Amino acid sequence: MTDTRYLHVTPGHVEPGEGIPEGFDHPLDDIIPDPAAMAEVQPRVVAALRTVFDPEIPVNIYELGLIYDVFVDAKGVAGVRMTLTAPACPAAQTLPVEVRDKALAVEGISDARVQIVWDPPWTRERMSDVAKLELGMMW
């Protein structure tokens, strides 16, 4: 018998933007990526985000494909553009806050802002091969 794991995706019962903490839907257009900060600090932010796990799925959110962009400006402000598996995701209140806090804890980051986006929508195709293998979706 095979150990099959299923990816739970909650159907959207709310409009995009509802259910996420206040302030996590603002555009990050004023954070201009700095080449030096991107080379030095951005990889450390990504490494920190790899320690954030969806509470219902035993894979980190980076490998799940929930992180769309990570950028850092010359002042050390990190911008993270991410999505959730569905607008009604039960972790909508906690994941963005944890992402912000993990980014803030990285040396060289002075501030961190997270924007939840719904376009493009998340699909299982955004998952890395590592995530698919962990969830039994690759043979």
pLDDT digits (tens, 9 = 90+) for 61-91: 999 999 999 999 999 999 999 999 887 888 8
What domains lie within the chain, and their CATH numbers? 35-134 (3.30.300.130)
Tokens of 31: 């954070």
* Torsion angles phi and psi, residue 113, rounded to 5: -130, 140
| Averaged pLDDT score across all residues of the chain | 85
Q: CA–CA separation, 64 vs 54, rounded Å?
A: 9
For 85-122, how does the pLDDT look when each residue is reduced to its tens digit (9 = 90+)?
887 888 888 999 999 999 999 999 999 999 999 999 99
Size (the chain), residues? 139
Residues 6+ apart with CB under 8 A from 58: 5, 134, 135
pTM exceeds cut of 0.85: no
Name the DSSP letter for residue 21: P
